[in-house]
Structure 1
Amino acid sequence: MRALHTAASGMAAQELNVQVISNNIANLRTTAFKKQRVAFQDLIYDHVRRVGAQASDQGTILPVGVDIGGGVKTVGTPRLMTQGTLSQTGNDLDIAIRGEGFFKIQMPDGSFTYTRDGSFQMDAQGRIVNAQGNPVQPTITIPQNSSGLAINAQGQVTVTLPGSTTPVNIGQIGLTRFINKAGLQPIGDNLFTDTPASGAPQDGIANTDGLGDMQQSNLEQANVEAVSEISDLIAAQRAYEMNAKVISAADQMLQSTSGMFR
């Protein structure tokens, strides 16, 4: 019976929807996390009577047709790259991006990944690195025994060297943007890689040419809204239950049909 397969596709779709919502809620406190949503489309139709077909020898046309749908399919889980709120941390190496752009991170194999997570640290060599110890690009090394670390809105890093009172510029953290941010591939650890869908990375300087600025001692929070996610979760649960009801009703109809032959 067609209704069983149609309702089953609806249950599978809502199960995936709940998985996406649960991941959003799980990352409610993940720095710079960008939430996802599920995009659905209806499946191919069985055209029993095509609309616009000739209905009689006199040339009359069917004003409506008979089209039986096959259910629903998931076509994507796009990531919403909207700005998250900024939260002060008091840590000199915490940097939030306010506006467009990603930090560029060099991986151990020499490739590059991109992130909005600016919770940086300093490694044993004095380099500014992410939580996994991979250096931020361009690589910046903080001199030993320096003080007064400051990072301005354009990403320029200055320190005060021992025996001096004048800040010295030791480098500039860059930003990278993409034509289609939603086309980036998430790989975990708050990192993304570029894909043909995202377009080529475009390196630049913060606070110029449409790129956002940097806010030292701040971190960007996840753009997940708890109330909205709970509301979506309830809606997905009810949709799942309704599809289950359809399967139950179709099963009862099949039982009634089979009972007629006894």
Structure 2
Amino acid sequence: MQALHTAATGMAAQELNVQVISNNIANLRTTGFKRQTAAFQDLIYEHIRRVGAQASDQGTILPVGIDIGGGVKTVGTPRQMTQGTLSQTGNDLDLAITGEGFFKIQMPDGTFQYTRDGTFQMDNTGRIVNAQGNPVQPTITIPQNASGLTVNQQGQVSVTLPGAANTSTVIGQIGLTRFVNKGGLQPVGNNLFIDTPSSGPPQDGLATAEGFGTINQGSLEQANVDVVSEMSDLIAAQRAYEMNAKVISAADQMLQSTTALFR
């Protein structure tokens, strides 16, 4: 009975939907996290009577047809790259981006990955690095005994050096990278993304330049997850799963009734 298979595809789709929602909720407090949604499409149809076919010898045309759907399939889990709210931390190396752009991180193998997580630290050589110890690009090294670290909205990093108490010295420039289709970036964990053919090539630039956002020192971007919306979606997914299970139960009862007629 086709209804059994159709309802089974619906249950599988809603199971994946719940997995996506649960990941969003789990990352509610993850810095720079971007929520995902599950996207679905209907499966191929069995055309028992094709709409527009000839209905009689007189040439009349069927105004409607009979099409039996095969169920549903998941076509993607697109990531919503909307801006998250900024949370003030007061830490000099906590940076948040308002607008377009990603921080560029150099990996140990020389490749680059990208993030909206500006929770940066200073390693034992004075370099500005992410939580995994990989340097932010371009690489910036803070001199020993420097004080008064500031990062302006353009990403310029300045410090006060010993013997120059009233003078700030620019020691580097944090860059930003943008993509034509930022939703096409591939997540790899640790709040990092890599570029793909879908995202387009990385476009390096500077904060406040045309097409790029600004950098905010002493702040972090929070996840763009709305817990109320996620809970509402979770309830809807659960009810959809239950209704598909009910269809399977109903189809089973119909098959039992049919079988009983032949006993």
Q: Which TM class, normalised by the smaller chain length?
A: over 0.9
**Match of 2:207?**
206
Taking the aligned partners of 1:250 and 1:102, their CA distance within structure 2 comes to: 51
**Match of 2:10?**
10
**Match of 1:168?**
169
Taking the aligned partners of 2:136 and 2:209, their CA distance within structure 1 comes to: 19
**Match of 1:216?**
217
**Match of 1:40?**
40
Taking the aligned partners of 2:162 and 2:31, their CA distance within structure 1 comes to: 34
**Match of 2:93?**
93
Secondary structure in 1 aligned to 2:46? strand
The question of 1:64 aligning with 2:43 is answered no
**Match of 1:137?**
137
**Match of 1:226?**
227
Secondary structure in 2 aligned to 1:11? helix
1:203-234 C-alpha deviation (Å, 9 max, x unpaired):
00001112000000000000000000000000
TM-score relative to the length of structure 1: 1.00
Taking the aligned partners of 2:45 and 2:62, their CA distance within structure 1 comes to: 18
Secondary structure in 2 aligned to 1:36? coil
Secondary structure in 1 aligned to 2:232? helix
The amino acid of 1:209's aligned partner reads E
**Match of 1:190?**
191
The amino acid of 1:191's aligned partner reads L
Taking the aligned partners of 1:112 and 1:89, their CA distance within structure 2 comes to: 27
Taking the aligned partners of 2:185 and 2:247, their CA distance within structure 1 comes to: 38
**Match of 1:103?**
103
The amino acid of 1:42's aligned partner reads D
Secondary structure in 2 aligned to 1:53? coil
Q: How far did 1:17 drift?
A: 0.2
Secondary structure in 2 aligned to 1:13? helix
1:42-78 C-alpha deviation (Å, 9 max, x unpaired):
0000000000000111110000000000000000000
State the identity %.
81
The amino acid of 1:80's aligned partner reads Q
CA RMSD of aligned residues (A): 0.3
Taking the aligned partners of 2:204 and 2:237, their CA distance within structure 1 comes to: 40
The amino acid of 2:64's aligned partner reads V
1:175-225 C-alpha deviation (Å, 9 max, x unpaired):
000000000000000000000000000000001112000000000000000
**Match of 1:124?**
124
**Match of 2:154?**
154
Taking the aligned partners of 1:119 and 1:9, their CA distance within structure 2 comes to: 41
Secondary structure in 1 aligned to 2:237? helix
Taking the aligned partners of 1:58 and 1:52, their CA distance within structure 2 comes to: 14
Taking the aligned partners of 1:193 and 1:212, their CA distance within structure 2 comes to: 20
Counting matched residue pairs gives 262
Taking the aligned partners of 2:170 and 2:90, their CA distance within structure 1 comes to: 21
Secondary structure in 2 aligned to 1:171? strand
Q: How far did 1:174 drift?
A: 0.1
The amino acid of 1:66's aligned partner reads I
TM-score relative to the length of structure 2: 0.99
The question of 1:177 aligning with 2:175 is answered no
Secondary structure in 2 aligned to 1:206? coil
Secondary structure in 1 aligned to 2:255? helix
Matches within 5 A, 1:68-87: 68-87=68-87
Taking the aligned partners of 1:128 and 1:194, their CA distance within structure 2 comes to: 23
The amino acid of 2:207's aligned partner reads A
1:13-45 C-alpha deviation (Å, 9 max, x unpaired):
000000000000000000010000000000000
The amino acid of 1:127's aligned partner reads R
**Match of 2:255?**
254
Taking the aligned partners of 1:139 and 1:259, their CA distance within structure 2 comes to: 77
